[in-house]
Amino acid sequence: MVNRNLIRELDTDNELSLEIEAAMSGAEAGEYSIGTGTLSVNSVLLGKVLRVDDEFVLVDVGYKSEGQIHRNEWDETEPAPQIGDTVKVLLEEFEDGSLEEQRGIVTLSKRKARRIEDWLRVMESVHENDVVTGFVTRKIKGGLLVDISGVNVFLPASQVDIRRPADIGDYVGRAIQCLVLKIDEARRNIVVSRRSLIEEERTERKKQLMETLDVGQVRRGIVKNLADFGAFVDLGGIDGLLHITDMSWGRIGHPSEMVTIDQEIEVQVLHIDREREKIALGLKQRTASPWAKVAEKYPVDTVAKGSVVNVMSYGAFVKLEDGVEGLVHISEMSWTKRVSHPSEIVKPGDEVEVVVLAINKDKQEISLGMKQTQQNPWEKVAADYPEGAIVKGVVRNLTNYGAFIEIDEGIDGLLHVTDMSWTRKVTHPSEVVEKGKEIECKVISVDQQRRRIALGLKQMQDDPWTTDIPSRYKSGQIVSGTVTKLTNFGVFVGLEDGLEGLLHISELSDEKIENAEEIVKVGDPIEVKILRVDTDDRKIGLSRKRVGWSAEREAEETAAGS
């Protein structure tokens, strides 16, 4: 359909239009004369060449004064003017005098007469919606001039092609076919469209193509446009989308890595939506999927080399070959190192050695491991750190229940609070050890399956409850100590460094006491009597009220209690 709004906005070769309009007002098409009595300016005449010089050609048009035409109006492609030649000319003006006086210089134009003749000839043969062939002569504002049988017609830039070219000047010098959109006889303008012709042809080709197109076919096409998500390929009447994921079995960042605009490629038809006229195309499907033989090439436990292509918070993707990538989970990167993020171990572009852990061919997934390429240090922990061995390590972390001691890179042992002192009741490990400090411990046990090592600090010395304490502290003995802690049931008394005895509230005074603070405070020195030494439960029972008792009274109390 002709775009009427477009036609109204167009203004082609105004100079040519004015020439033709002026000439047509003074002469009917096809009427020429020599020496007739009445002719007006802008008449087309037949004249005879009288003289030829370097600059002008003198022509007799039947008046007393001859007319002259500049020599450059003869093209280089036509024969040079000769005396006696007959030539068609346009009577332009008289420089002096008038037609009635028939004197003065007559100005003639051979070129303009030819343009008028060409225009008249074109008007007889060319009509709106005709297909014409022309030669692009030059680029002007807003479009191109196309020569059709000697007449310049206007081809707007928007009508040059379906997609506007980067530079329409590239068409200058080319022969093209166009559809005549509009002929304006009043202004002597013709507007043509190459785009409309292409669209008509494309519509017909699209119809034929959709009738023959089928899924699985291999078709040749031309890449017409690129986007971040893929490329549009002209199959000869309709565009199909070649998505970036269907360009290569391998990983690509942008379609331009695979194809370029105007490149001719072979693609496979993957899907056709005939109702919406959408076609999905594939390039990688032209070759066999590398996943077809993955299980054969990379069986489980295979050691392979690859390059890191992407790093995520949960692991790193490693390319084994184009189109085949596997995931090294963060937990499979190191036997001993505590990895917070995979970027601590690898970065994109790194060449790494991996072991195939598992393959899911249906989901096209491969699980890989990096730590499996090295010996698991826990496999030799039992040999390196046997039970009873003395080890040195740095306090790495403290918890409520103990301290973690790093005895080798990535190998931690747990020093539990109960294994920090034989005699002292440790409520928090910070009372005994300091984070970052090196200490010496003894290996208590090794659980290789659960990857646990139990360490002991108190085991560095003999257990005083089996050696020293029973010999130094006996029942009935009076000893001095310091109040270390008050509870609702009694008082803890420090007898020596780390060794405490319990003074029950009933043993504080002969009188009934509701609260130990009525008698003592933390830090007070106190003299107590040892009631009993329990080596099995590692407890010493004390009494304050019995310090002054005689042996007889002690015996009486004991008998009464029994």
pLDDT in the model for residue 399: 92
Query: Which pLDDT belongs to residue 32?
Result: 37
Domain that holds residue 233: 213-286
What pLDDT does residue 63 have?
Answer: 67
Instruction: State which of 431, 460, 489 marks the end of a domain.
Output: 460
pLDDT band at 36 (very low <50, low <70, confident <90, very high): very low
Same domain, 248 and 313: no
How wide is the angle at C-alpha 376 spanned by C-alphas 375 and 379, nearest 5°? 110
Closest C-alpha to 66, from 106, 96, 34 = 106
Q: Are residues 45 and 101 in the same domain?
A: yes
pLDDT band (50, 70, 90) for residue 3: very low
Q: Which two tokens stand for residue 10?
A: 């167009």
Separation of alpha carbons 154 and 151, rounded Å: 10
Rounded to 5 degrees, what angle do the CA atoms 232, 238, 240 make?
A: 35
Confidence of residue 280 (pLDDT cuts 50, 70, 90): very high
Residue 1 has pLDDT above 80, yes or no: no
Domain end (from 226, 260, 286): 286
Residues, the chain: 562
pLDDT surpassing 60 at residue 17: no
Q: How far apart are CA 149 and CA 76, in angstroms?
A: 18
On whether both 305 and 363 belong to a single domain, the answer is yes
Instruction: Give which of 315, 317, 319 is closest to 330, Cα–Cα.
Output: 315
| Nearest-5° Cα angle at 406, 401 to 460 | 70
Same domain, yes or no, for 271 and 315?
no
Specify if 407 maps to a domain: yes
Please give the structure tokens belonging to residue 502.
């319990």
Q: How many CB atoms lie within 10 A of CB 313?
A: 9
Over 90: is that where the pLDDT of 269 sits? yes
Residue ending a domain, choose from 96, 118, 140: 118
Q: Report yes or no on 141 lying in a domain.
A: no
pLDDT at 11 over 60: no
Does some domain include residue 181?
Answer: no
Task: Work out the percent of the chain whose per-residue pLDDT is above 90.
Answer: 20
In a domain, 151, yes or no: no
18-34 confidence digits (pLDDT tens) = 443 443 343 333 333 33
Q: Based on the domain organization, do 408 and 348 belong to the same domain?
A: no
**360-392 burial by CB neighbour count: b if 16+ within 10 A, else e?**
eeeeeebbbbbbbeeeebbeebeeebeeeeebe
Instruction: Establish if 68 belongs to a structural domain.
Output: yes
CATH number at residue 278: 2.40.50.140
Q: Which amino acid is at 315?
A: G
- 508 shares a domain with 439: no
Same domain for 298 and 367? Answer: yes
Same structural domain, 258 and 315:
no
Average pLDDT of the chain is 81
CA angle 272, 273, 274 (to 5 degrees): 100
485 and 404, same domain (yes or no): no
- Which one is predicted more confidently, 447 or 424? 447
HEC string for 158-208: HHCCCCCCCCHHHHCCCEEEEEEEEEECCCCEEEEEHHHHHHHHHHHHHHH
386 and 367 share a domain?
no
| Lowest mean per-residue pLDDT among 47-51, 322-326, 436-440, 527-531 | 47-51
pLDDT over 60 (residue 558) = yes
Give the confidence band of 103 by pLDDT, cuts at 50, 70, 90: low
- Please determine, for residue 298, whether its predicted confidence score (pLDDT) is greater than 60: yes
Into how many domains does the chain fold? 5
pLDDT digits 0-9 by tens, 71-97: 888 877 778 888 888 888 877 776 654
Contact 409, 421 (CB under 8 A): no
pLDDT of 2: 38
What does the H/E/C string look like for 229-257?
CEEEEECCCCEEEEEHHHCCCCCCCCHHH
pLDDT score of 347 more than 90: yes
> Backbone phi, then psi, for 74, in 5-degree steps?
-95, 120
Residues 437 and 503 in one domain: no
Q: Give the residue among 343, 289, 347, 287 at the shortest CA–CA distance from 321.
A: 289
76 or 406, higher pLDDT = 406
Please answer whether residues 428 and 369 qualify as being in contact, where contact means their C-beta atoms are separated by less than 8 angstroms. no
| Residue 520 covered by a domain | yes
Q: Per the domain annotation, does 128 fall within a domain? A: no
- Please tell me which residue, 346 or 465, carries the higher pLDDT value: 346
33 vs 450 pLDDT, higher one: 450
Mean pLDDT of 434-441: 90
In a domain, 193, yes or no: no
Q: Which residues pair with 107 in a beta bridge?
A: 68, 93
Cβ neighbour number for residue 142 with a 10 Å cutoff:
15
* 309-315: average pLDDT: 92
